[in-house]
Amino acid sequence: MAHRFLSSTNRFSARFAFIFTVSLSCTYLCYSILFCRSTVMTNRGYEGRRCPPSKNAGGKKLLGKLDNCASLEVRSALDGSAAPRGYSDLRNIKATASSGSQSDDMKLRNMSVAQKYGNKKLPNALIVGVKKGGTRAVLEFIRIHPDVRAVGTEPHFFDRNYDRGLDWYR
């Protein structure tokens, strides 16, 4: 008698656990479909923001050839014509803009590095030196490291572009 009672209790709790698990799964599934649709199985997180971190994103390499992600960002910025004043001495901008129109070229020229590549951080390190002091050589040696990302040309923020503000510099 006691054995039968125990087994019926076990069966009841097993059934309850099964129903509870199924209902929990259904709730989670509905929640995922209704509220998290944009983050499930898509790469929308990267659209218009920043590229996925690349191990070899050294400055010159990065500025030299725009990968798909950077191009996407440039294209979206051009479409939205959201190009404030900016960075006049970026040589490599020309490479991307060559296929576009003259106005696209101008917009690209006026974009800061942050707008082109989505990196809104201030630099962690600055190389300061007098003219002909060998600063370029220092930069080239440091940027060999895969974790270092640096601009391709000197931004001249403190001497020529200081009035443009930190938003431009980022």
Ligand X SMILES: Nc1ncnc2c1ncn2[C@@H]1O[C@H](COP(=O)(O)OS(=O)(=O)O)[C@@H](OP(=O)(O)O)[C@H]1O
Q: Which residues are catalytic?
A: 132
Distance CA 6, CA 9 (A): 5
121 marked as binding residue: no
135 marked as binding residue: yes
Should residue 141 be labelled a site residue for ligand X when binding is judged by CB under 6 A? no
Output the smallest distance, CB 92 to ligand X, in A: 18
Output the smallest distance, CB 95 to ligand X, in A: 22
DSSP state of 85: S
Query: Residues 103-132: x/- map of binding to ligand X (CB under 6 A)?
Result: --------------------------x-xx
Distance CA 52, CA 35 (A): 24
111, amino acid identity: M
Residue 164 falls in which region: left (phi positive, over 0), alpha (psi -120 to 50) or beta: alpha
Should residue 91 be labelled a site residue for ligand X when binding is judged by CB under 6 A? no
Distance CA 166, CA 117 (A): 16
Should residue 142 be labelled a site residue for ligand X when binding is judged by CB under 6 A? no
Q: List contacts with ligand X (CB under 6 A).
A: 129, 131-137
Numbered residues of the known binding site for 3'-phosphoadenylyl sulfate: 132-136
